[in-house]
A and B are shown apart, each in its own frame.
Chain A
Amino acid sequence: MSSTSHADTAAAAQDGATAPVPRRRRGVRRLSLRDRIVVAVLLGIPLLLDLAFVWFPAIGTALLSFTKWNGVGSLHTQTCKPNVPSILNNGCWYGVQNYHQAATIYPEFWPAVRHNLIWLAVFVVIATPLGMLFAVLIDRGIRGSRMYQSILFLPVMLSLALVGIIWEFMYSQNYGLINTVIGHTSDSNAIDWLGNPHLNLWSVLVEATWRQSGYVMVLYLAGLKAVDPTLREAATVDGANAWQTFWRVVFPVMKPINIVVMVVTVIESLRAFDLVYITNKGINGLELLSVLVTSNIVGETQRVGFGSALGVVLLVISLVPISVFLYQTFRREEAS
């Protein structure tokens, strides 16, 4: 087998001078049996794994969202009967009732959606510009830029669970750094940063921003390095100041990185879970869609169908940034 492919390629090499492109293509395409087996193994195992543990469950969630199921017993295709105790109805086809219930009578649903949107807004309005500013300043190569970069990126290395624990010392009602400094530690005037449902989302968002802006900074640093320096020189020669150079020349060139940052921002705010879970299990003012999904399906209530419906809501919202990203990334490849 290897001798035939050897002969093929030798012929291709000889012909190379006259018609290199088509011969080369054919040489790659015409695979020996052994090469085919290699391709099948290299592609097959990961594909199977990805389909089994990521895509099959994703489709499963979509299907389960139309059922009423407590996770025990079997699923069937009969339509759920109204006015029958749910124990007899278990595993039945529920149509869009889960979605309807989520939107109308589930008290935590709309607060969770609102919290997710606030999370996104804070990331867009504060974390992203802050990270971009860090990157731009550091990229100008001022003294100590490497040190600043290391410090500002440090939180990204910590797990969100650790971030939650570390910030506990800042926020704690009676021994936290913040309350001590502003003199609010006595029982009468203590500020409960993480317990007060009107306050805790914002407190947690400070933690999240603290971490996210370092992440955005690194993405922009990478993007800025890729910007052709002659562009900036040309802008400087034309008399543009630093502000103009950045907004008129550098920023537009960084379009790919802007899209990546945008996608990362949306996805990270939809995925948010660890911080609120470690802070107070994601209840009492910290409800997020991710928390509701988790508590409905692995918590004590076991409303699998309902939790899946919430998961599908999360999936549909996530598909927007995912599609933007994929479209931007693969459009050029399709063309080439």
Chain B
Amino acid sequence: MTTEALTRPGTAVPSAPGRRRTRPWGQLASQAFLIVASVLWLLPIAFALYVAVRPYSDTRKYGYVSLPHHLTLKNFSDAWTQSDMLHFFWNSVLITVPAVIIVLALASGVAFVLTRVDVKVNIALLILFTAGNLLPQQVIITPLYRLYLKITLPHFLSDSGLMYNSIFGLIAINVAFQLGFCVFVLSNYMKSVPEEMYEAALVDGASLWTRFWRLTIPLCRPALAALATLLTTWIYNDFFWAITLMSSGDKRPVTSALANLQGQFVSNQNLIAAAAMIAAVPTLVVYILLQKQFIAGLSLGASKG
């Protein structure tokens, strides 16, 4: 609206003479406020990045807050090689990718049934799934931990032979926990698909499966893309499940493994900064590439409240 008024001053002036006088100041104040906020918001990340590109010898001699004498990328390569980060990244991939795919597959099935088939208890089930996602993780951890120690898995899924301390176990809990949110968002999205499309499909003799797989899923592609990006960051960023349901550090995903690295590199903060920056890369890349989807994804879940 503001831009429209600015480009067509002739139309805006007569209707709101008072606003025109205050607008330049308002604009200036808004700009100033947002610039200050942006600087404050970037500062911690920028400083950590600055620490990461300085050699340890420099910061030891001149302090962390000092002008740069040398800049180096060596901390990044050192962090990468000395801490086995590739290994932890691979763990994250092994957990995140299957978990995201399984959640989306299962959630779209549930959402479809709950929105398109009258199973009498649709709303009760929707509430069950949605509420499950809102519980604090600590509320379910005790029995879950016990359960994970009881469930045995074949050795190709878990070398401990248990759900506990296995990648498979982490996938399972991430899937179960995130299902609620995805069912909620997808069922809202599927409700907006016009009924006429399903009538047409019925006329063509499409079975329930065809209506789901050939009609609904392709229509939900934007919502699925948005959810995929959100889920990727959430599951990648998970900390609690990884530290409680995994006993051996070498199987943990990268974000929780970083807590161990902190202890390992405690004398060399530059290396920790570099490792932290490396660990942040995947979500930042996802964010930059799919920014539009992110906003859309959040609004899908949000505007339906």
A→B interface (CB under 8 Å): 2, 5-6, 9-10, 12-13, 16, 24-25, 27-29, 31-32, 34-35, 38-39, 41-43, 45-47, 49-50, 52-58, 60-61, 64, 71, 133-134, 137-138, 140-144, 147-148, 150-155, 157-162, 165-170, 172, 175-177, 180-181, 185, 210, 214, 218-219, 221-223, 225-226, 229, 232-233, 236-237, 239, 241-242, 256-257, 259-260, 263, 267, 270-271, 273-274, 277-278, 289-290, 293-294, 297-298, 304, 307-308, 311-312, 314-315, 318, 321-322, 325-326, 328-330, 333-334
Contacts and interface: CB of A to CB of B under 8 A. Distances in A.
A325 B208 contact: no
Interface of B: 1-3, 15-16, 18-19, 22, 26-27, 30-31, 33-34, 37-38, 41-45, 47-48, 51, 59, 63-65, 106-107, 109-110, 112-114, 116-119, 123, 125-132, 134-147, 172-173, 175-177, 179-180, 183, 195, 198-199, 202-203, 205, 207-209, 212, 233, 236-240, 243-244, 255-256, 258-259, 262, 269, 272-273, 276, 279-280, 283-284, 286-287, 291, 294-295, 298-299, 302-305
Nearest to B137: A271
Contacts, number: 347
B276 A166 contact: yes
B165 to A, nearest CB: 13
A298 B173 contact: no
Nearest to B282: A157
B209 to A, nearest CB: 5
Given A222-B299, A260-B302, A326-B127, A12 B106 contact: no
Given A142-B34, A294-B138, 13 more contacts: A28-B198, A31-B208, A50-B128, A54-B140, A56-B143, A57-B144, A61-B142, A137-B30, A148-B37, A170-B43, A177-B64, A257-B305, A297-B141
Contacts of B30: 137, 140, 142
A138 B176 CA distance: 36
A165 B212 CA distance: 45
B295 A222 contact: yes
A233 B279 CA distance: 46
A315 B135 contact: yes
Contact of B134 (A50, A71, A293, A325): A325
Nearest to A294: B138
B209 A154 contact: no
Given A46-B109, A142-B2, A297-B142, A161 B273 contact: no
A100 to B, nearest CB: 19
A309 B284 CA distance: 39
Contacts of A293: 138-139, 141-142
Prevailing SS type, chain B contact patch: helix
B93 to A, nearest CB: 15
Contacts of B280: 157-158, 162
State the 4 A-B residue pairs at the shortest beta-carbon distance, nearest first: A222-B299, A60-B143, A159-B237, A42-B109
B305 A143 contact: no
Contacts of A71: 146
Given A148-B38, A290-B136, A329-B130, A223 B64 contact: no
B142 A64 contact: yes
A252 to B, nearest CB: 15
B187 to A, nearest CB: 10
Chain B CB within 10 A, most for which of A43, A219, A256: A43
B295 A218 contact: yes
A297 B107 CA distance: 31
B258 to A, nearest CB: 6
Given A50-B132, A161-B255, A311-B139, A241 B31 contact: no
B44 A256 contact: no
B38 A151 contact: yes
B264 to A, nearest CB: 13
B305 A325 contact: yes
Given A43-B113, A226-B303, A256-B304, A169 B207 contact: no
B239 A219 contact: no
Nearest to B237: A159
Given A50-B180, A165-B276, A318-B139, A223 B303 contact: yes
A222 B303 contact: yes
Contact of B139 (A152, A170, A223, A315): A315
B249 to A, nearest CB: 14
Contact of A330 (B107, B127, B141): B127
B179 to A, nearest CB: 6
A169 B51 contact: yes
A61 B207 contact: no
A267 B181 CA distance: 14
B302 A330 contact: no
A260 B185 CA distance: 13
A326 B202 contact: no
A74 to B, nearest CB: 12
Nearest to B5: A236
Contact of B48 (A45, A166, A312): A166
A260 B300 CA distance: 12
Given A144-B34, A222-B303, A39 B119 contact: yes
Given A58-B135, A311-B139, A166 B27 contact: no
A168 to B, nearest CB: 8
A305 B299 CA distance: 40
Contacts of B37: 134, 148, 152
B134 A159 contact: no
A150 B284 CA distance: 11
